[in-house]
Amino acid sequence: MTVRGLAGRVVGETRLRQAAEAVRTARTAFGLSGLTHVATVYGTDKVGDHHYTPHYARHLARFRRRRFTLLEIGVFEGASLRTWRRYFPRAQIVGLDIEDKRVHAGRRISVYQGDQSDAALLERIVRETGRPDVVIDDGSHHSDHVRATFATLFPLLADDGVYVIEDTQTSYWPTFNGSLDRHDTTTTMALVKDLLDGLNHEEFLDEDYRPSDLDRTVVAVHAYHNLVVIEKGRNCEGSNKSRLRDYL
């Protein structure tokens, strides 16, 4: 190969690399890149410290091009809010933090300050921003706060919404009002286990049992390492109890 030919090849390869980088930049700018990449760019701990982004990408895929509202408890330095804004180009992003994090508010991002277990505050946020389609609890991680927040927000969640609880490892840590006793009924994971039972309430043989609103509206519970994803809908598929006689 001549010197001129070699130089032309180098220039061509350089232009290809530059073009590829431009495409990657454009994909990120318009929210078309993978969630893990976007999360890495913005520095949220949903990737790296944790491995949540593949689960989020799978469970929130149907929202990618929709207009919807995402409410996240816990703002910290705003990286997560900016990640969601970029990844969901038509979403309204709402954040709540115990500290004043309004510096992170901006285009399509609203930020509130307050206690996540304050039911009146949560209800006001929903009145002002609309029913959330997605709720992410990445707040204090204290079991009592997580349970109180869920009790208020899940009924206010859109009928086909998704509710996510992060960092459920704290359910086993007394420092976060968790418990060393895995059978403790007051922890975050105890709530999750109750939801799993309620998911199958139509199969209970207790004739006096009256299903709760949660029993009737939780249609799926997905548990991952330190992460739980709960789907809302109409849990009324019917019972298989009539087949019991086949096993007697």
List, by residue number, the catalytic residues. 141
Q: Hey, is 75 helix, strand or coil?
A: coil
Q: Could you please report the per-residue DSSP string of 86-108?
A: HHSTT-EEEEEESS--GGG-BTT
- Is 171 exposed, middle or buried, given 0-12, 13-18 or 19+ CB atoms closer than 10 A? buried
How far is it, in rounded angstroms, from Cα 174 to Cα 172? 7
Query: What are the backbone angles phi and psi of residue 155, rounded to the nearest 5°?
Result: -65, -25
* Alpha-carbon separation of residue 101 from 77, 84, 105, 111, 231 (angstroms): 8, 16, 8, 7, 29
Q: Whole-angstrom distance between the N-terminal and C-terminal Cα of the chain?
A: 84
